Amino acid sequence: MTTAIQAEVLLPTQELRHDLPFYTKTLGLRLDSIFPADDPSVASFSGHGLRIRIEKGADVCPGKLRILTDDPDGFANGARHLTAPNGTQIEIVPLTPTADQPQTQHEFAVRRLRDEAPWVIGRAGMHYRDLIPSRLGGSIIASHIRIPDGGPVPDMVHYHTVGFQLIFCYRGWVDVLYEDQGDLIRLHAGDCVTQPPGIRHRVVEASPNIEVIEIGVPAEHVTTIDHDMTLPNGKGDPAREWDGQRFVHHRKQGATWQSFRVPGFTARDTGISAGTKGVAGIQVIRPDGTVPAPYIHDADIHFTFVMEGKMTLVPQDQEPRDLEPGDAFVIPPGMVTQYANCSDDLELLEATLGGEFTTTIAR
């Protein structure tokens, strides 16, 4: 036999009879119990996934309740903030999170690994290093993530409310599960996947010293645990879209290299611009042995991470920066930039939003 267990929130009041119509009629809660009969001082309510006990003279703060609904205009006559007679603050907020994209605050920025930017402990015990400290006004987050010990990852099935998200395996390997994508996918160094908005997934296991680059748009987005889904869940429709984006799994092995839009480089296109319908573009680039040309772009966001080799970044009206593996930089639209002193083993991960934009060679 299972013992019934419930929980409730205790709130105070000075006069219960003033609170009864507010909690039942305005907030739409159900009155479950009230006592004593001759002079009621305690009442219990339930509804919207919540139980509340209001007790006259209770020595607790009035607190704050958040009502979550996808129809805020149809709740409490469209009010967003209310105060109950007992002093409790009521806030009406959307039930379903949205990925609201803030306007990009453009800047030129360089983040060097040797500057010892702090690593912080994030979700599932992973170590995070922020590659764009300003996050361009909240428009993007780029993280260098590592799991020093490797092995099984204490992750749960979850999804993100995002506009775009990339996982690029930089070092080692990692096993991941994705909704409708069949069995385990092992990402090796150089492989990457997109995580379309809302796709359920779970990190399963990683090699020792695994490192990945994760890019999310916008910078602040909600992660929701899905307690009901179990992965793997079989092979779904390959053409399925989540908010207009397909799941893209790019493999380094067997990928083709082609001319890059900037002379002096070749590129490995991941196909992500096509898979996201132009939301973002992800390419791996390396020098072709000729002198790279200076260029100007008009992309809203242009982020690059140095994976291998060395180079000198020469930005307009700025001091040149010598870069090496683990460094990252952001080039704002309209700035003349040149990549100089490129080592033969230089390899860069470039992420742009949107995926299609104009590059002008500045001769």
What is the arithmetic mean of pLDDT over 68-81? Answer: 93
Give the model's pLDDT for residue 126: 76
| pLDDT 10s digits, 100-111 | 889 999 999 999
Give the model's pLDDT for residue 149: 84
**In whole angstroms, what is the distance from residue 149 CA to residue 43 CA?**
53
Query: Which CATH entry fits the domain spanning 9-93: 3.40.640.10, 1.10.357.10, 3.30.465.10, 3.10.180.10?
Result: 3.10.180.10
Superfamily of domain covering 258-361:
Jelly Rolls (2.60.120.10)
Query: 1: pLDDT confidence band, cut at 50, 70 and 90?
Result: low
Give the model's pLDDT for residue 98: 83
Asked if residue 242 lies in contact with residue 162, where contact means CB atoms within 8 angstroms, the answer is: no
What is the arithmetic mean of pLDDT over 152-158? Answer: 91
Asked if the model's pLDDT at residue 363 lies above 80, the reply is no
Question: What letter would DSSP give residue 95?
Answer: S
Asked if the model's pLDDT at residue 182 lies above 80, the reply is yes
> What is the percentage of the chain residues whose pLDDT exceeds 70?
98
Asked if the model's pLDDT at residue 68 lies above 70, the reply is yes
Query: 309: pLDDT confidence band, cut at 50, 70 and 90?
Result: very high
The CA distances from residue 349 to 212, 284, 352, 359, in Å, are 12, 5, 10, 17
Question: What letter would DSSP give residue 135?
Answer: G
Query: Which CATH entry fits the domain spanning 109-247: 3.90.1300.10, 1.10.275.10, 2.60.120.10, 3.40.190.10?
Result: 2.60.120.10
β-bridge partners, 306: 348
Q: Is 199 exposed, middle or buried (0-12, 13-18, 19+ CB in 10 A)?
A: buried
Give the model's pLDDT for residue 123: 66
Q: Which conformational region is residue 356 in: left (phi greater than 0), alpha (psi within -120 to 50 degrees), or beta?
A: beta
CA neighbor of 359 nearest in space, from 283, 290, 308: 283
Give the model's pLDDT for residue 55: 97
Query: 125: pLDDT confidence band, cut at 50, 70 and 90?
Result: low
Asked if residue 140 lies in contact with residue 106, where contact means CB atoms within 8 angstroms, the answer is: no
Give the model's pLDDT for residue 119: 81
The CA distances from residue 218 to 178, 197, 294, 334, in Å, are 21, 12, 29, 22
Give the model's pLDDT for residue 307: 98
Q: How confident is the prediction for the chain on average, in pLDDT?
A: 94
In the chain, ranges of CATH 2.60.120.10 domains: 109-247, 258-361
In the chain, ranges of CATH 3.10.180.10 domains: 9-93
Query: 194: pLDDT confidence band, cut at 50, 70 and 90?
Result: very high
| pLDDT 10s digits, 9-67 | 999 999 999 999 999 999 999 999 999 988 999 999 999 999 999 999 999 999 999 99
| pLDDT 10s digits, 261-308 | 999 999 998 999 999 999 999 999 999 999 999 999 999 999 999 999
* Token pair for 271: 């196909």
Give the model's pLDDT for residue 239: 85
